[in-house]
Structure formats: structure tokens, C-alpha cells
A = this chain, B = another copy of it.
């Protein structure tokens, strides 16, 4: 152990388990989980088979379902819950997070209806805290198996980002810092929309040429929206933008891509969501992005296509064909 401080990981899903194990190798860790069955499974069996079938939770990790106990002696509250649960979870933690405590978010998504970023939700529920956002191309399965991975730690205060960098850096885990919280959060959220499109196209028999094009044009529209929302354009070319986008679009481990594949094969959103415990963040993010793009007057053809298929009765094959047959144009036009 080389880290003295205890870190609290809030959320025992796949990414929470992976981060808890990674952090436990260097110092004390507490893992909080909301669902009693999952908390007990993690505490007693040290495994949560429906999210990470082959991964054992480190023995040293204290598991609890009680926010008060979870925050005892903690130097960092690291939120890793699904985006739709973050506000309620943060509210239940608020009384137990003392002023000035370091808070971090590894949750990717936008709040439905309000379209707020996760760090905004945290500030609203916890008050002002030193805050870091964690993102990047990091499927939990691969991190858990020690496969090489990069992350970005973003904060207005670079010293805080460097603290997370120091705690997470390993031979197989490379962490970069950034000061663009807005860009890092938006990249991690909006990529899920493009991953759904990538899955749809793969199911329709599109190949690698189309995949390169969809990711490229998808990144361009993500960056357009992001810049309008205050992000630095450069951020979208980095690991939390492009890197995460590529990994999510090409990986069979990506829930959003897998969801898109099933949509492309003709299943309905209802059928898929009802049969699965996994959260497909992109289903919600595409609604927010579609509404924001309309409000701000930003062209987002891939987002429009995914939104149309999920919420407006558009056929996947028609949506994909429309993307390929828009008017000829120059590449720097929208």
C-alpha cells in the first residue's frame, strides 16, 4: 500500500467494481452499493456475476449499503452510479460529505429533461466541493483484467486532477489530466449515441469503411454541440472524446453498441430494455442531445437518425441510408 487515504467508491456496477479493485491495490477502499441483493453479494461472495462474471472484488474492500458508514474516514467520494440515479444518490450522501471534501464523478450521461451534466447535478445536491471528473476509453471488463487503459482526470483546479492521476496511475493504467470539465463530461456522454448508430449500421451489414466514417462524422457533431455548450474543441480530439468514442463503437463489450445492433436487427427498444438489468445510457442521452441541438440550431445528423429510430418510428435501414445519401458537400460543412 502506498496511499494512506481511504477512497469511497459510490456504486457497485461494473465500472465501480473495476475502479474499487484498482484503487484497493494501493490503499484502503470502501464500496457503496444501493441494491441490497447486489451489496450483499459483493460483501459476502465478493462478486457480482450479472455485470462482471469472472471478477472477484478485492478482499480488503469494505462493502456497505449505508451512506454514513461509506463516508467514514474517506478522503474522496467517487460517484460511479448510472446517470438517472445520480441526483437521488448524491442527495442521500449529502449529509455525510463534509465541507471541502474532494468529490469525483465517473458517471457518464446527461440528466433527462434538465440536460444537466453530472458534475452540475453533484454541485446542486452537495454544494460546492473540490471536484474532479473521470472519463476516457475504459471498459470495466478490460480494466478488471489488467489490460492497458488510459483515463482523463479533469478539474478546474489542475492540482486536484493530478491527485486522481497519482492515485490511479499504474503500469497498465495511464492517466492524463485536463482542465476542460465540460468537454470531458460531454464527450463521455454523447459518444453513446454514436455507438448506437455504429451498432445499427453493423447489424445492417455495413463494414469498416462505414465505421470509420460514422465515428468521424459522429465526432464532428459531438464537437459542434460541445463547443456550443462551452467545451474546448480540442478536448473532443482527446482520449475522453475520440478515444472513448472509438472504444465504445468498436467494442463487443459496449452495451450501447450491442443495443444498436439489436435495434438494427429489428428488435424494439421496449423489448430490449425490459429483458436486461444493464443501463443503456445512450437511450436517454440521445433525447437530451436531440433537444439541445434543436434549441441551439446545431446540425446533428447521426443523433437525429438514432433519435428518429428510437422515438419517431424511423426504420433503421432508412435512417442509415439517409445518412449516406445526403446532398454532396465539402467536408467542413455540417
Residue A178, interface by CB 8 Å: yes
Alpha-carbon distance A309/B332, docked complex (angstroms): 37
> What B residues does A244 contact at CB under 8 A?
212
* Contacts known (A209-B150, A213-B150, A247-B212); A324 close to B177, Cβ less than 8 A: no
Could you mark each residue 128-171 of chain A with 1 if its beta carbon is under 8 Å from any beta carbon of chain B, else 0?
00000000011100110001111010000010001001100101
Give the shortest distance, in Å, between A329 (CB) and chain B (any CB): 6
Question: Is there an interface contact between B253 and A208, defined as CB atoms closer than 8 Å?
Answer: yes
> What B residues does A165 contact at CB under 8 A?
328
Question: Is there an interface contact between B219 and A149, defined as CB atoms closer than 8 Å?
Answer: no
Alpha-carbon distance A238/B218, docked complex (angstroms): 10
Chain B residue, CB-CB nearest to A252:
B208
Question: Is there an interface contact between B330 and A247, defined as CB atoms closer than 8 Å?
Answer: no
* Contacts known (A139-B209, A143-B209); A246 close to B176, Cβ less than 8 A: no
Alpha-carbon distance A211/B325, docked complex (angstroms): 30
Question: Is there an interface contact between B212 and A176, defined as CB atoms closer than 8 Å?
Answer: no
Count the copies: 2
> What B residues does A248 contact at CB under 8 A?
212
Question: Is there an interface contact between A215 and B242, defined as CB atoms closer than 8 Å?
Answer: yes
* Contacts known (A150-B209, A209-B147, A210-B149); A246 close to B215, Cβ less than 8 A: yes
* Contacts known (A207-B142, A331-B152); A212 close to B321, Cβ less than 8 A: no
> What B residues does A243 contact at CB under 8 A?
212-213, 215-216
Interface residues of A (CB under 8 A from B): 137-139, 142-143, 147-150, 152, 158, 162, 165-166, 169, 171-172, 174-178, 201, 205-213, 215-217, 219-220, 223, 234, 237-240, 242-248, 250-251, 253, 320-321, 324-326, 328-332
**Sorted from nearest, which 10 A-B pairs have the closest CB atoms?**
A137-B212, A212-B247, A208-B251, A216-B243, A176-B331, A149-B209, A212-B243, A150-B213, A212-B246, A142-B207
Contacts A137-B208, A177-B328, A220-B238 aside, 12 further interface pairs with beta carbons under 8 A come to A148-B206, A152-B331, A158-B330, A175-B328, A211-B250, A212-B242, A212-B244, A217-B239, A219-B237, A219-B242, A223-B237, A240-B331
